Amino acid sequence: MRALLQRVTEGSVTVDGTVIGEIGQGLVILICAMQGDTQAEADKLAAKIAKLRIFADEAGKMNRSVLDIGGSALVVSQFTLAADTRRGNRPGFSTAAPPAEGEALYLYFADQLAEQGVPVAKGQFAADMKVALVNDGPITIWMDTDD
């Protein structure tokens, strides 16, 4: 699985003019299931993200996790993280999991993150979403379970 994490002071996702998910301080997580991914990758990624120390402590050092600060996560499906841009000018997405598998793993990942103790808001799979956020830092981190 691939994830792009952004440390935020706030984030929201809107579908058809209606806010369907929003958070205050925490993480906006764009997530993509890749072909061959299983629940094991989602488990591993959720556990790592919940404990990832990218929030400032009292000394201003990145030493606290989203759990430590009592933050939340906004999890948004993002198949374009599978983009292959090696050839031509149009990205290919053939390495992304098929839609039914991708949706199941996206929802499973969000549930596993919540099981870790992180309050989770979600986007809507395959919808035309408008994601708004205020990146704090800015801190943006790429994660891939294949790495």
Positions marked active-site:
78-80
Element (H, E) at 29: strand 26-32
Element (H, E) at 11: strand 2-15
- The tokens describing 91, both together, are 């990205």
For tokens 């992180």, name the residue: 118
Region of 126 on the Ramachandran plot (φ > 0 left; ψ -120 to 50 alpha; else beta): left
User: Cα 93 vs. chain centroid, distance in angstroms?
Assistant: 18
CA-CA distance, 118 to 5, in Å (whole number)?
A: 14
Q: Contact at 8 Å (CB) between 69 and 55? A: yes
Q: State the DSSP code for 81.
A: G
